[in-house]
Amino acid sequence: LIKEADYTRKRLEKIRLQRNSLACIEKRRLYCIGLRQIEDEDLLFLDESGFNSGMTRNYGYSPRGQKSVSANEFSRQRNTSLIAVISMRGCLAYECYSGQSTVQYLNNLSEKSFQIIVKENRRKHWFLIT
């Protein structure tokens, strides 16, 4: 019956019960109402991305029945992080540095250019208001 319905077995995504409580839904509604008061041109989005020059592919192609092999140097490379602020006008500011991103780098970037930081519900996703 499951196969006929084209269902497949998947890992469950577990979420907190409180995530969709009436109180959380109301907070989200009020948050959206507040955001609508801001002009589109005044919204600034900040995002961070990390790179490592030692990164290699994890998947490859090979004939059926043969292993897919890639020969690589196994040396640890330094991480490079990039934080950029983007608006409807384009890229307004960016910081590039060695190592992982920290709150200090986010604060340094925001202090240089912007007045108010509004943090989204996720750790690494931010948006700013000028």
Q: Where are the domains of the chain?
A: 40-51+75-130
Name the token pair of 50. 């990390």
Neighbour count for residue 93 (Cβ, 10 Å): 17
Helix (H, G, I), strand (E, B) or coil at 113: helix
The per-residue pLDDT for 67 is 85
Residue 19, class by beta-carbon neighbours within 10 Å (0-12 exposed, 13-18 middle, 19+ buried)?
exposed
The per-residue pLDDT for 25 is 92
Residue 109 has pLDDT above 80, yes or no: no
Under the banding of pLDDT at 50, 70 and 90, the label for residue 126 is: low
Contacts for 107-114: CB closer than 8 Å, 24+ residues apart: 109/46, 109/83, 109/85, 110/46, 113/85, 114/44, 114/85
Query: Which ranges of the chain does DSSP label H, i.e. alpha helix?
Result: 22-36, 103-113
The per-residue pLDDT for 30 is 92
Whether the pTM exceeds 0.85: the reply is no
Residue 115 has pLDDT above 70, yes or no: no
